[in-house]
Amino acid sequence: MRISDKAGIKKQKKHTILIIDDSDVNIAALIRILSPDYKTLIAMSGHEGIELAKSSSPDLIILDIIMPDMDGFDTIVMLKKAVSTRYIPVIFITALSKPEDETKGLLLGGSDYITKPFSPEVVKQRVKNQIRILEYIKKIEQLSRIDQLTGLPNRRSFHERLLSEWKLAIREKTSISLLVLDLDHFKKCNDTFGHLMGDTVLQKVAKIIDAITKRPTDFSARWGGEEFIVLLPKTDTNNAQSIAELIRKSIEQKVITFNNGQSTQITISIGVNTHTPTKNCSLNDFLHYTDDALYLAKRNGRNNVTVHVPN
């Protein structure tokens, strides 16, 4: 997985706003206000808006309250019930100006409330505020899935990806391989050079692992401490072993130089496990057997790749 994109290469994608309103006049006005900065989608009823929200996953919904068949209050209740639309922020924009109406809208999960007739500048700013909050939340969510020292995905992120790929392998009847990697005698490295130097070693090792696991479906992460883990979907045992051996050799040959001029080399032990899962297979067993392979690699002298052999 590549954590960062090169700045300036891609133009930032426009955020998408879904407008749910039964008035052509209001829709036209909102499109004029928002279309220069956002992609807009239109639904003219609550039912249509809910289906469009589920299929298109907009970043923000602007919702009228007074609509036939299903009003805005009923619509937001349905949006908040559905898992796929629950967290999409909703701005009410309505002619209902009583405080109790605004309170009801906010209590039902609305993020903001604008009364008609509306000012274009107010709409722009309220929308901008919600998009800013959304981006902030997404950034926090992204950071919560990244190991801050190495820049690799963390254990939580890996578990989510592993579960997704495991289910896909079951559906497609394909093999999936896992590598668990542990630096040899890392405590000695820390004791000799200090923890700051140890952090440098972890960063250098992470870069090597990330550079080698370069297919779009490959997923490497920091498992914890001096352990790393690599997921290789649609990869058989021989290819997984080859990738593991390439990582092992690359780390063994790497001379790691510190800022003070000192340098060191380190080795790594790797356990490999490959399986074609079915619905009756246990994901926990898959992880357990990979750990067993790593244990054997350590017991067999370290600095080697050991493949789990099913009984």
Strand partners, 287: none
- Inside any domain, residue 22: yes
Q: Which of 143-152, 172-181, 291-300 has the lowest mean pLDDT?
A: 143-152
Q: Which domain holds residue 283?
A: 155-307
Asked if residue 110 has pLDDT above 70, the reply is: yes
Asked if residue 127 has pLDDT above 60, the reply is: yes
At residue 12, the pLDDT reads 64
Inter-residue contact 74 to 50 (CB < 8 Å): no
Q: What angle do CA 208, 294, 303 make, to 5 degrees?
A: 55
At residue 4, the pLDDT reads 35
- What mean pLDDT do residues 117-146 have? 92
- What mean pLDDT do residues 225-244 have? 96
Whether residue 296 sits in one domain with residue 164: yes
Average pLDDT over the chain, rounded to whole? 93
pLDDT tier, 11 (very low <50, low <70, confident <90, very high otherwise)? low
Q: Which of these three, 142, 167, 185, is where a domain ends?
A: 142
Phi first, then psi: give them for residue 279, nearest 5 degrees.
-60, -25
Whether residue 290 sits in one domain with residue 160: yes
- Inside any domain, residue 150: no
Provide the whole-model pTM.
0.69
Q: How many residues does the chain have?
A: 311
pLDDT tier, 7 (very low <50, low <70, confident <90, very high otherwise)? very low
Whether residue 118 sits in one domain with residue 163: no
- Inside any domain, residue 186: yes
Whether residue 169 sits in one domain with residue 136: no
Whether residue 163 sits in one domain with residue 133: no
Name the active-site residue from 135, 141, 172, 226: 226
Whether residue 296 sits in one domain with residue 225: yes
Whether residue 240 sits in one domain with residue 189: yes
Asked if residue 191 has pLDDT above 80, the reply is: yes
HSE-up of 286 (CA within 13 Å, CB side)? 20
Whether residue 172 sits in one domain with residue 109: no
Whether residue 100 sits in one domain with residue 225: no
Return the CATH number at 77. 3.40.50.2300
Domain count, the chain: 2
Residue 111 gets which letter from DSSP?
S
Whether residue 244 sits in one domain with residue 124: no
Whether residue 134 sits in one domain with residue 192: no
- Inside any domain, residue 254: yes
- Inside any domain, residue 163: yes
pLDDT tier, 1 (very low <50, low <70, confident <90, very high otherwise)? very low
Asked if residue 142 has pLDDT above 90, the reply is: no
Catalytic residue at 226? yes
Q: Which of these three, 96, 116, 142, is where a domain ends?
A: 142
- Inside any domain, residue 148: no
Q: Which of these three, 142, 164, 195, is where a domain ends?
A: 142
pLDDT tier, 13 (very low <50, low <70, confident <90, very high otherwise)? confident
Whether residue 165 sits in one domain with residue 207: yes
List of residues 6+ apart from 140 with CB closer than 8 A = none
- Inside any domain, residue 1: no
The one-letter amino acid at 307? V
- Inside any domain, residue 11: no
